[in-house]
Chain A
Amino acid sequence: MLYAVPAGLSLRGWNMPDQFNVLLEVRNVRKFFGVRGKSVLPTAKYVQAVNEVNFSVRRGEVFSVVGESGSGKTTLGQMLIRLLDPSDGEIMFDGVDLMTLDDQQMRRARKRMQIIFQDPYSSLNPYMTVGDAIGEVLEVHGITKTTAERDQRVDDLLETVGLRSATSVRYPHEFSGGQRQRIAIARAIAANPEFLVADEPVSALDVSVQAQILNLISDLRASMGLTMVFISHDLAVVRHIADRVAVMYLGRIMEIADVDEFFDRPLHPYSQALLSAVPTPDIRRSKQRQVLSGEIASPMSPPSGCVFRTRCPHAIEACAGVVPPLELKSATRSSACIRDDLLK
């Protein structure tokens, strides 16, 4: 049962014993973005993109973050490898708070953590050959010493992701979306990282290509022993690839659960609504579909108390009073909801 202790626990002063083998731990992370108003005065308004997020990711697992667009999952993903600095909180990677690293240390640390971006079109430099784009990683980290060595390694990487090695002299615009994402994956694994953030890696691709790329990511994860944070809004994809799932809504985590449990019996009302929105061929189940009313609230002025209460079918008066903490509800999952009576 050790395997299933949710990350929410670390919040309450627990230190994860070593045998849990946590690679990444996120503690009380927030990210606020200033919004430029019409006034000349300095920023007065903030968007709360990510708010008090806590979880940890064990070595070798695929931790999936799901949520609607605007829920803060991309912002969170970028903070995990410090492409964005959190406004507050700690990102512990292998026991070290990334925020304490200086520029040079951080750059060196990037060898161990990589990211696959959502858009394979804009995330590749259009003026750089594929070989140079991948080779840059090898050069920057001093992995290969000579050009010949570098080219050989680039060819190997391209082959690993299922592209012909001759592609290295060509430019990104000569490739399709799926091929570009393969190139991006080759770039991400070039330095042999331990940790990979995949930020909606297939959502910009044709459905027919999505499965290929997902399988490639699965294969690489297994062969390289990667630890992954997989960000997606596509629940079918998450079910296929994830070990554990965290649900985000308006910058906060609503629920963390093992993947099977989550899909079988979601706890949080928002999780339930998300899952019931997935089209199903089963007539009996489709009758129970919950349709959320309204739009996701504005992150500039989130509702008081529980951020989901404005759309929650089970909301009661008390929900407006306190922000429900992410609490352990069973041995294997935690949820941020005060309506424990619903659990029965």
Chain B
Amino acid sequence: MLKMLILRIIQSIPVLVIVGAVVFSIAVALPGDPSLIILGENAPEVERQRIRLELGLDRPVLVQFGDWMFKAVQGDIGKSYKTGEPVVSVLAARIPVTLQLAFLSMLFAVVVGVPLGMIAAIKRNSWVDAVVSVLSVSALAMPFFWVGILLIMLFTLKLRLLPPFGYVPFSEDPVQNLRFMIMPVLTLGSAYVALVARQTRAAMVQVLSSDYIRTARAKGASELRVVTVHGFRNALVAIVTVIGLQFAGMMGGAVVTETVFQLPGLGRMITNAIFDRDYGLMQGGVLVVVLGVIIVNLLTDMAYWLLDPRIQR
């Protein structure tokens, strides 16, 4: 186990370097000059030249990249071009917001999606199955911003229950924090409820039609036992896969959701950084997201290892 874990961590290093290179090249290729962003449209050329020198933008691109990577390895991923703040401290403030959003959305998706998928699989081809299927497709088809706006119309304008947008850290005021989080979580989670439900249904249908389920029935095991101990247990690998894989997609959804609900998370930070040509901040943000995806993939692999005895050793 430990050996596999170490191996996987070593394997993720090249991934990080490649992603770093891609992000860096995009930043270079993007039109717009950071010096203009910092100094404003009408800054004199001399001043702009000074800024460029300060940021090291006059050096060859490869040197800039090497320098950035070298520092990144040491934990210094530069400063925000716009505010001069260290990127690390900006990220430290943003990461918890996105983490909370992603975690709660995933929780919502699993808590609602898994039972729905199981019921649909057990009652396959019944009206229950049809309803779950139609709801899933609808939820998947609706864009995040649209769901968000609908929710605001319902919970804020109509029912006057929830604040439309804003954010308070959980540590300051847990109740208010959760009130702010409800709609973003519903927005981001709805699509994943659908994905998880569909994947659960598919996996359960496949498992329930296998021979060893018939064996379990022949043993005299109760239907509940057949469905849970033999059915769900064996479908779990497939369900965990979809949850792990969808984490990367969820980061994309977080960008939109955070924008709609004005959450100060990573997604919105990266969007703003791109608009501001704040390459330093953007690179840091993307790097953190990639790191997150790599970690989740690692966790997914470890979950396989725990769930499927055939993978062991």
A contacts, CB < 8 Å to B: 81, 83, 103, 107-108, 110-111, 114-115, 117, 119, 122-129, 136-137, 140-141, 171, 173, 184, 187, 191
Given that A117-B214, A126-B234 are known contacts, is A187 also in contact with B219, CB under 8 Å in the complex? yes
| Interface 0/1 of B231-255, CB less than 8 Å to A | 0011000000000000000000000
Indicate if the CB atoms of B310 and A107 lie closer than 8 Å: no
CB distance from B241 to the nearest CB of A (A): 15
- Which among A108, A110, A127, A129 is the interface contact of B233 at CB below 8 angstroms? A127
**Interface members, chain B 271-313 (any A CB < 8 Å):** 307-310
Given that A127-B234, A187-B219 are known contacts, is A171 also in contact with B310, CB under 8 Å in the complex? yes
B94 at the interface (CB under 8 A from A): no
B225 at the interface (CB under 8 A from A): yes
Q: Which 7 A-B pairs have the closest CB atoms?
A: A110-B220, A122-B211, A125-B212, A123-B211, A107-B220, A171-B309, A137-B219
Closest to A107 in B: B220
- Which among B214, B307, B308 is the interface contact of A123 at CB below 8 angstroms? B214
| Interface 0/1 of B213-226, CB less than 8 Å to A | 01111111111010
Q: How far is the CA of A184 from the CA of B230 in the complex (A)?
A: 16
- Which among B214, B223, B310 is the interface contact of A173 at CB below 8 angstroms? B310
Closest to B236 in A: A127
Having A123-B215, A136-B219, A136-B221, one finds 11 other A-B pairs with CB under 8 Å, namely: A107-B221, A117-B214, A122-B210, A124-B215, A125-B216, A126-B212, A140-B219, A141-B220, A171-B309, A173-B309, A187-B215
**Interface members, chain B 172-213 (any A CB < 8 Å):** 210-212
Among B212, B216, B225, the one with the most A-chain Cβ atoms within 10 Å of its Cβ is: B212
Indicate if the CB atoms of B218 and A114 lie closer than 8 Å: yes
- A-B pairs with beta carbons under 8 A, tally: 63
Q: How far is the CA of A171 from the CA of B313 in the complex (A)?
A: 13
Q: Classify the interface of chain A: helix, strand, loop or mixed.
A: loop
CB distance from B306 to the nearest CB of A (A): 11
CB distance from B308 to the nearest CB of A (A): 7
Chain A contacts for B310, CB-based, 8 A = 126, 171, 173
Chain B contacts for A191, CB-based, 8 A = 220
Q: How far is the CA of A41 from the CA of B14 in the complex (A)?
A: 56
Indicate if the CB atoms of A108 and B219 lie closer than 8 Å: no
- Which among B218, B220, B234 is the interface contact of A125 at CB below 8 angstroms? B234
Chain B contacts for A123, CB-based, 8 A = 211-212, 214-215
Q: Say which size band chain B's interface belongs to.
A: 20 to 34
Indicate if the CB atoms of A127 and B308 lie closer than 8 Å: yes
Given that A122-B210, A140-B225 are known contacts, is A127 also in contact with B309, CB under 8 Å in the complex? yes
Closest to B210 in A: A122
Q: How far is the CA of A171 from the CA of B211 in the complex (A)?
A: 16
Closest to A114 in B: B218
- Which among A103, A115, A171 is the interface contact of B218 at CB below 8 angstroms? A115
Chain B contacts for A124, CB-based, 8 A = 212, 215
Closest to B234 in A: A127
Chain B contacts for A128, CB-based, 8 A = 230
Indicate if the CB atoms of B220 and A108 lie closer than 8 Å: yes
Q: Could you show 22 A-B contacts with beta carbons less than 8 Å apart?
A: A83-B218, A107-B220, A119-B211, A122-B210, A122-B211, A123-B215, A125-B216, A125-B230, A126-B212, A126-B309, A127-B233, A127-B234, A127-B308, A127-B309, A136-B216, A136-B219, A137-B219, A137-B220, A140-B219, A140-B220, A140-B225, A187-B219
Indicate if the CB atoms of B215 and A110 lie closer than 8 Å: no
Closest to A127 in B: B234
Q: How far is the CA of A123 from the CA of B230 in the complex (A)?
A: 12
Indicate if the CB atoms of B214 and A83 lie closer than 8 Å: yes
Among A126, A127, A191, the one with the most B-chain Cβ atoms within 10 Å of its Cβ is: A127
Indicate if the CB atoms of B221 and A140 lie closer than 8 Å: yes
CB distance from B205 to the nearest CB of A (A): 15
Closest to A125 in B: B212
CB distance from B226 to the nearest CB of A (A): 10
Given that A103-B223, A127-B308 are known contacts, is A110 also in contact with B211, CB under 8 Å in the complex? no
CB distance from A35 to the nearest CB of B (A): 15
Q: How far is the CA of A173 from the CA of B308 in the complex (A)?
A: 11
Closest to B222 in A: A107
Chain A contacts for B212, CB-based, 8 A = 122-126
Indicate if the CB atoms of A110 and B218 lie closer than 8 Å: yes
Closest to A137 in B: B219
Chain B contacts for A136, CB-based, 8 A = 216, 219, 221
CB distance from B129 to the nearest CB of A (A): 15
Chain A contacts for B218, CB-based, 8 A = 81, 83, 110, 114-115
